[in-house]
Structure 1
């Protein structure tokens, strides 16, 4: 997992509430277990018409938002099913930070496990940030300082300290387990000595 520290980007603004995971990545694209290749299908039903052509007035089909790394969204983002393909699709498109006034719990936690920073701010701040998207101006996110900087203003946000550490150090669940490999090996050696019938070479 890539480390997350600071990020600067022109944000894309998607002012829709209750965007569920099926809207983020529809069910027909869930056959893969790979984390790559899903970006082209992100928001598929909003980005493409029935003939597979891009819908020109959808925000992520417009320059410079095709390269946005920050998505500003309506409340209750990521509701619906718990599919981990949703953060995979966002990440593969290039989005590594989502800002909303609220997130569905499972999606919120899945973001941290996949290197995406979900930030919760109040609705008034969402409106302020959306103006920077409308003007195609960059904003920046500083995870270490827990703040969003836009123009001469800044917004402070709160992140759980453990989740913050994982993002800063690029630690997913596998990496966290590997960090404890010495203790795991020590436990296995002790178990092998005391109960050899459990572990065999």
Structure 2
């Protein structure tokens, strides 16, 4: 998993409440167990019409936001089913940070496990960030995980809270597998002692 330290990038405004995981990545794309390749299907039913043509009005199809790395969204983002494909699709598209007033718990935790920083801020602060994002590609935000701040293109700074363990994992690029590998020496020592004490096991 890539480390998340400081991100300066284009923020796309998505002022929609209750964006669920089926909207993020529709069910027909859940057959794969690969984390790559889902970016092209992100928000599929909002990005494309029935013939597969781009819907020009959708934010991520607009030239200013095609390379967005930050998404500023509405309340209760990531609700619905617990599919881990949702953060996979966001990450594969290039989104490394989602800012919203609130998130569904399972989606929120899945983001951290996949290298995405979800930031919950009060509605009035999200509104200010949404307005900044609407300026387009020239208005770049900076997200500093170490300092726990989001800075607008005009220099306005908002602080956010993050669990210390989740912060440690993101800063160091540690997913569940990498965390286990950190304990390899202790696991090997335990296995060695256990096999001597109970050779019949």
Q: TM-score, normalised by structure 1?
A: 0.97
2:125 & 2:172 partners in 1: Cα distance? Answer: 28
Q: How does 1:1-201 map to 2 (within 5 A)?
A: 1-136=1-136, 137-150=139-152, 151-198=154-201
Question: 1:117: how far off?
Answer: 0.1
After superposition, the C-alpha distances for 1:24-45 in whole angstroms (9 at most, x for unaligned) are 0011100000000000000000
Note the aligned Cα RMSD (angstroms).
Answer: 0.6
Question: 1:10: how far off?
Answer: 1.7
2:118 & 2:24 partners in 1: Cα distance? Answer: 15
**How many residue pairs align between the two structures?**
198
Paired residues of 1:10 and 1:132 also in contact (CA < 8 A): no
2:20 & 2:44 partners in 1: Cα distance? Answer: 13
SS at match of 2:34: coil
SS at match of 1:64: helix
Paired residues of 1:76 and 1:101 also in contact (CA < 8 A): yes
Question: 1:130: how far off?
Answer: 1.2
2:155 & 2:130 partners in 1: Cα distance? Answer: 15
Paired residues of 1:13 and 1:59 also in contact (CA < 8 A): yes
1:8 & 1:57 partners in 2: Cα distance? Answer: 25
Gaps of 5+ in 1: none
2:48 & 2:155 partners in 1: Cα distance? Answer: 37
Paired residues of 1:18 and 1:78 also in contact (CA < 8 A): yes
Question: 1:171: how far off?
Answer: 0.1
1:152 & 1:189 partners in 2: Cα distance? Answer: 56
Deviates more, 1:170-179 or 1:122-131: 122-131
